Chain A
Amino acid sequence: MRLQVSRIHLVAGVLAGVQASVTAPPVARAADPTVSYTFNFYSDVNGVDVFSNYVSSGLRLRNGVQLSAEWVHDRVVIPAIDAPPGSQEAVDAITTASRPIAGTADPYQDYVKVRNSLETSATYRGYDLDYYVSSESDYFAQMVAFNYNHGFMEDNLNLAAGVSYSWDNIQPLEDDDTQGVPDYRRTLHWNVIATQVVTPTTVVRLGAEFNNVRGLQHDPYRNVYVAGSNVPEQHPADRDRRDVFASVNQYIYNRSSVNLEYRYYSDDWGVASHAIGVKLNQYVSDSFVVRYRYRYYTQASAIFYRDDYTQTGGVNGFQTADYRLGDFGANLFGGRIAWRPYRVLGKVFPASAQLILSYERYFNSNNFSANVLETGLLIVF
């Protein structure tokens, strides 16, 4: 239905100096603009392709306020539907966009959906204020967020807390079996995160997040087979979601580092999951860094999820054709190259320029697989 509205887990304030590559360049001006462009291409086994363009910029004012903005343009191509109307339609990938079928939308042709979003933020001395807006044909989303972080113990410990509120207006497109009834979704999110420097080469992070979601949370274009009949998909209108996560970042003396991550998630729909990942970074030369990663994910299904619904009324009035609410496991493998071309192409690229190229392969126990390719350029002026 809608392109995914990212839960903006805002960077509550990068402590000055840690991200040397993206902050103050060596110039005398008070304004130190940064510009970056990232292209992301997603393609999965169902034929869904997503082309995403990210353009972001940042500026620091003389009074210390940091302003930033990011514009994202997503173009989702959902393939033609082979199955008859009422059967499980293709659901998109990166954006969770779905598509109307029949009526004015020809189900036997590729369906293209476009989303534009803009996020702006202002950061000052640990305080961060964000505004986000996104728009697509059937979904309009807005969000405001506030975050604060503070260092303790000579900045060896950083505590951050944030809250955000989003309000989405949904206007499903009409087709043969979808009513264009306006609807809404509201999300309240908060998080607390602690980052601790343990040794000169080790950083540990612990965090907890909570989301309270109200409103439309199923696909208005999708039907489910229930006891031999096609009925509209129906999810509960309330959902409390929570997760805790931990990560360890360790520098290793042969100019490499390893990152271990774990996240536990649960919600009141019964979905519970574990995600564990490892990343290994290695300098190949002073200007070349390669990264390898692996992630394992396992999920338990929602209470009302069934592969086949044999009773009318689903489970307590809820029924879903969304495989994402079922049991499954997933693996992700990936590699990334980061290159600073200044030494070789100093006349073309400034010293701060960084080129990134990455590829990831994702597959799960539902015989679903996807390839994600990303490339980007970051320049600090």
Chain B
Amino acid sequence: MKPRDTMRMAVMTVALATTVTSTRAATDAGETLASHRLTSFEGAATTLSAYRGQVLVVNFWASWCAPCHDELVTMDRWNDAWAERGARVVAISIDKDAAKARRFTEHLKLSLTVLHDGPTGLARTLDIPALPCTYLLDSQGRVVSVVRGSSAGELAALRAKVEAMLASARPTAPQEAGMGSAPVPSMNNDGGTR
């Protein structure tokens, strides 16, 4: 085999291994996100698997993280806009004190779904790389992307991705929603609601 061919094979092998590893990591993260038990401020337990069938934006935040504040308000507006279109935002607080996080969301008058998990739950299991940190999941619960931080560019890119996913999505029958204020859109055989 010529040296050039050997080099090509090596590069392809590395690329393939990286892709497999990334895909595996995304699948693992998706499964972790789906199965981890979360709690509402009222004490009711749920998991993110309850939202399978929708595009899910999972935002990790804390009341002590100033950049998280504006981002939450932005995502609250997104959630309102996507409520009937098959996408949802779920905000997970990693505050140690759930009461403090609840007061904060009431002050912001958020209507999106807010759950509490503390700093040693999902955040540690996933070892989130920054705060705020946002996971984008497709309707099958697979992690499509991870957004570190809250810059205007990153948020715009995230929103564009969700819009693209909604535009290309073929609706499937959703599971019953466990929590949240927005009703799950009903689906029918001709392609769902818009």
Contact = CB atoms under 8 A, between A and B. Distances in A.
A and B touch in the complex (CB under 8 A): yes
Interface of A: 16-20, 23-28, 32, 62-64, 154, 351
A154 B129 contact: yes
B83 interface: no
Contacts, number: 40
Nearest to A200: B119
A26 B64 contact: no
Contacts of B66: 16-20, 23-24
Nearest to A14: B66
B147 to A, nearest CB: 15
B107 A351 contact: yes
Interface in B63-87: 64-70, 72-74, 77
B166 interface: no
A19 B69 CA distance: 13
Given A17-B67, A26-B73, A63-B152, 12 more contacts: A16-B67, A17-B65, A17-B66, A17-B68, A20-B65, A24-B67, A26-B69, A26-B104, A26-B107, A28-B70, A64-B151, A64-B152
Given A154-B129, A154-B130, A25 B152 contact: no
Nearest to B73: A28
Contacts of A32: 70
B67 A25 contact: no
B131 to A, nearest CB: 7
A23 B65 CA distance: 10
Nearest to A20: B66
Contacts of B77: 28
Interface of B: 64-70, 72-74, 77, 104, 107-108, 129-131, 151-152
A18 B131 CA distance: 12
A341 to B, nearest CB: 15
A27 B73 contact: yes
Contact of A20 (B64, B72, B74, B152): B64
Nearest to B151: A64
B83 to A, nearest CB: 18
A169 B151 CA distance: 43
Contacts of B68: 17
Contacts of A154: 129-130
Nearest to B62: A17
A17 B152 contact: no
A330 B64 CA distance: 38
19 contacts: A16-B67, A17-B64, A17-B65, A17-B68, A17-B131, A19-B66, A20-B66, A24-B70, A26-B69, A26-B73, A26-B108, A27-B73, A28-B73, A28-B74, A28-B77, A32-B70, A62-B152, A63-B152, A64-B151
A25 B131 CA distance: 17
Contacts of B64: 17, 20
Contacts of A20: 64-66
Nearest to B74: A28
The 5 closest A-B pairs by CB, nearest first: A23-B66, A26-B108, A17-B66, A28-B73, A26-B69
A64 B152 CA distance: 8
A23 B74 CA distance: 17
Contacts of A18: 66
Nearest to A16: B67
